[in-house]
Amino acid sequence: MEENVKDTVKQILTDYLQANKHRKTPERYAILDTIYSINGHFDIEALYHIMEDKGQFRVSRATLYNTIILLIDANLVIKHQFGNSSQFERAYNNENHHHMICMQCGKVTELQNDELLKAINDSKLNKFHPYHYSLYIYGICNKCSLAKRRKNKQINYREK
Amino acid sequence: MEENVKDTVKQILTDYLQANKHRKTPERYAILDTIYSINGHFDIEALYHIMEDKGQFRVSRATLYNTIILLIDANLVIKHQFGNSSQFERAYNNENHHHMICMQCGKVTELQNDELLKAINDSKLNKFHPYHYSLYIYGICNKCSLAKRRKNKQINYREK
DNA sequence: GTCAGTGCAAACTTTTTGCAACTAC
DNA sequence: GTAGTTGCAAAAAGTTTGCACTGAC
């Protein structure tokens, strides 16, 4: 992630905090900076440990939860909900992409498809104001489907 | 939900249980029947109370969790993950639709759009085998956007 | 009769909340 | 100085697990 993206989101946060009369705490900037150092998805627990380990700055889980809500409201973070815990990713300068989720192993693969984006953008949502969208395609990834085929063969063999 | 759909899914379940050497317990059929009486989404807690109240048949939460996994595997139920708890809906005879989720009030509205379905179906997923997909559009519903506008007006007024 | 499946309660995980201490303003 | 934020620990909410009992086969 280039530095000027970090500077830009920092500025967006500053503007947002000012506009909403929230305080500019070092925790909030540290969390934003860490998030924009992460490629792909993360959950609160992962974020907590990244900040603790790489850790110039340690913040409590409670603050992470609070701050994430604020960053989502500022359009700087997007929330996903696959798996057990909520997953997040940065929103600024992050192209809208789709997710393929393996129902077997839980692996999440990102997918880029412009026609699909166009179709979504062209959808009529009557009076609903969209901020962002997430397409989750659930299925079986190649690796698991090969493993499954192998397993089935064994079962068939055993039954003969 | 018409009776013959219920009969069909019952048969699908029977076949699935047989094929996988699982037992045909009354709990499983009662849960399936209840699910196919529900229109739209539900979570485990709601399902538990529906079965308890309307309740010919009471089953434990543990059994609901177990059985839901089984029904998902049998392609009779779909799992969603918006909100705090996992949401489910019936899969058979239920057209694939999309969801608009209000980030303010949490209301979920369903959306039907054939072009979008086509675009998703035409997507190349290289070697990933899709079972179903879920498009979640996050935004602000009309009701909340009106409320927000009203609130902003008040704030502006106060600040003058 | 056997073992998969069920119910219950306890455990575990993730998220929220209450409150004292701190600090941005 | 004051009130918004933070950290901590307790609580709540959702889900999973261990175990004794039951009933489908």
**Percent of all residues in chain B with a pLDDT value above 90, rounded to a whole number:** 46
* Two tokens, residue B146: 């009106």
Residue A156 has pLDDT above 60, yes or no: no
**pLDDT class for B136, splitting at 50, 70, 90?**
confident
| B133 in A contact zone (CB under 8 Å) | yes
According to the model, what pLDDT value does residue B1 have?
55
How much is the average pLDDT of B144-157? Answer: 60
Residue of chain B whose Cα is closest to the Cα of A110: B125
Q: How far is the CA of B15 from the C1' of D4 (A)?
A: 60
Q: Assess whether A58 (CB) lies less than 7 A from strand D.
A: yes
**pLDDT class for B55, splitting at 50, 70, 90?**
low
Neighbours of B153 (CB within 10 A): 10
**A22: which residues sit within 8 A by CB, 6+ positions away?**
A16, A70
According to the model, what pLDDT value does residue B42 have?
94
How much is the average pLDDT of A44-55? Answer: 90
**Bridge partner list, A139:** A102, B130
Structure confidence by residue, pLDDT tens digits, B79-133: 988 878 899 999 998 887 888 888 777 788 888 888 888 888 888 787 888 888 8
According to the model, what pLDDT value does residue B153 have?
52
**A54: which residues sit within 8 A by CB, 6+ positions away?**
A34
Q: Are B91 and B75 in contact (CB under 8 A)?
A: yes
Does B125 contact A82 at a Cβ distance shorter than 8 Å?
no
Note which residues in 98-117 of chain A have CB less than 8 A from chain B: 98, 100, 102-103, 109, 111, 113, 115-116
CA distance A30 to B104: 27
Q: Are B85 and B44 in contact (CB under 8 A)?
A: yes
**Bridge partner list, B88:** B42, B79
Nearest-Cα distance to chain B for A82, in Å, is 6
Overall pTM > 0.85:
no
According to the model, what pLDDT value does residue A53 have?
84
Residue B27 has pLDDT above 60, yes or no: yes
According to the model, what pLDDT value does residue B159 have?
39
Q: How far is the CA of A40 from the C1' of D8 (A)?
A: 30
**Percent of all residues in chain B with a pLDDT value above 70, rounded to a whole number:** 89
The bases of strand D with some atom under 7 A from any protein CB are 4-9, 13-18, 23-25
**Mean pLDDT of all residues in chain A?**
85
**pLDDT class for B20, splitting at 50, 70, 90?**
very high
**Mean pLDDT of all residues in chain B?**
85
Closest CA relative to residue B91, chosen from B137, B135, B32: B32
Q: At what angle do helices B61-73 and B3-19 cross, to 10 degrees?
A: 90
CA distance A77 to A97: 14
| B140 in A contact zone (CB under 8 Å) | yes
Q: Please indicate whether residue A26 or residue B143 has the higher confidence score (pLDDT).
A: A26
Neighbours of A89 (CB within 10 A): 17
Q: Are B48 and B64 in contact (CB under 8 A)?
A: yes
Side-chain-side CA neighbours of residue A38 (13 Å)? 24
Structure confidence by residue, pLDDT tens digits, A84-102: 889 999 999 887 788 888 8
Residue A30 has pLDDT above 60, yes or no: yes
Nearest-Cα distance to chain A for B9, in Å, is 21
Closest CA relative to residue B44, chosen from B84, B16, B6, B93: B84
Does B115 contact A103 at a Cβ distance shorter than 8 Å?
no
- Sorted by where each starts, the structural domains of chain A and their CATH numbers stand as 1-94 (1.10.10.10), 96-160 (3.30.1490.190)
According to the model, what pLDDT value does residue B149 have?
63
In a 3-state reduction of DSSP, which class is residue B109? Answer: strand
Residue A135 has pLDDT above 70, yes or no: yes
**Bridge partner list, A102:** A139
